[in-house]
Structure 1
Amino acid sequence: MYFNKVEICGVNTSELKVLKESEKTELLRRVKQGDKAARDALINGNLRLVLSVIQRFAGRGENLDDLFQIGCIGLIKSIDNFDVTQDVKFSTYAVPMIIGEIRRYLRDNNSVRVSRSLRDTAYKAMQVKEDLQNELNREPDIEEIAERMGIPKSQVVLALESIVEPVSLFEPVYSDGGDTIFVMDQVSDRVTDTDWMDEILFKESLEKLSEREKMILNLRFLQGKTQMEVAEEIGISQAQVSRLEKGAVQKIKENG
């Protein structure tokens, strides 16, 4: 199986062909006979269907071009797996396939999705850090960066952590065969060992949460979504979100 790469940048959607049901049926019949030209025509004739599906994922900070590409993969899978003997419209079959493909992509590639505003804050913090380093001739700490930016220290930490791969505090960075230096030893900040241990205990308490509870806390407190938005995204009621959120917070308090 091959996947056609389709670009949407600069595409005038009004010029995209829309197939009649009779045309889809005929093309699907030819696809089952191995007609590659019919397959291409069916793909191109359903691009507007993909565009309509990805609109429901707009406003989440995702690249729509990427989502369109993934949606097209779902479309192609729909074409290849559609049973022409069933009395079902192609679009009725294809839409859930396209949505499912996009959701799998978001789940697999964005287990902790970072909002655009958080990324912007991180990049600004990196620039401020570089400016301060040039001014002070040393590595600035988080408090100095936060003060220069005029935002809370916690916001700077959250933003910077959002754009890097997680690294264990106990990961060795140097060893001469004797004493080993860990990441924890190299961090420049005005915190004590007790603060580090509190942080470690907090992260350990998160491990006691279910995947759904982790997702809800991530969406609510890292991405700033409302309970209604979270409910819509994961497919449960707002009341359930509220109950799960309170339960997760209580677990953290009990294990903290």
Structure 2
Amino acid sequence: MFRELALLDEGSAPYRRQRDAIIERCLPLADHIARRFRGRGEAHEDLVQVARVGLLNAVNRFDVDSANDFLAFAVPTMMGEVRRYFRDHGWSLKVPRRLKELNVRLNSARSELTHQLNRAPTPSELAEFLGMERDEIVEGLVAANAYSTRSTEQETMRTGDGDGLTLLDTIGGPDEGIQRVIDIQTVQPLLAKLPARDRLVLQLRFFDNLTQSQIAERIGVSQMHVSRLLARALATLREQIG
């Protein structure tokens, strides 16, 4: 079919019909390539389209006079197209292109070494296998975590009552007491600098919850004087905090 195509004028109607016939005959192969990459986080329909783009590229670039047959040329072309799609579009978080390309090499090396060693290879073994520095391998392995992320709404476990817990439930939320701790740690050294009577009045009012009249009776002054002491102490704290 390719030899017949080579005899036709490119762009002519017979050329397009012959080219379409070749593509249609090879579509099952493209679909097979797409199925090999299923379950890796991308929609199967998208993978089929990408594999078929690879098939079109293979048909357009195949040299019928080369030593290779078409399948030997088309399969790597389609698989390369799908791998590039994963590299460029399949990452949940943005990472440098070199790390995406390294991830492809790591996956292949890890698979081969696992088969040889009957266990998962260490970063040092991967580095030796790929002829790279161990630090580069570690960087690539860490970057691989950015390929897929988990939704905080994803159910992760069930309670004893059978209720589902999402990832967000296990992470928790803001602690309302944090701001109180911050306030206390901020004010505490400032309180220590106040006169003893001012500190006592603030303690009785805001920690012991006494009224101004009760404070006045406790320390033996008028309620008006307590009011002035409180105002002065609070003004001093505000000025130092500000």
Q: TM-score, normalised by structure 1?
A: 0.38
Higher RCO (C-alpha 8 Å, min separation 6): 1
Higher alpha-carbon Rg: 2
Higher helix proportion, which one?
Answer: 2
Q: TM-score, normalised by structure 2?
A: 0.40
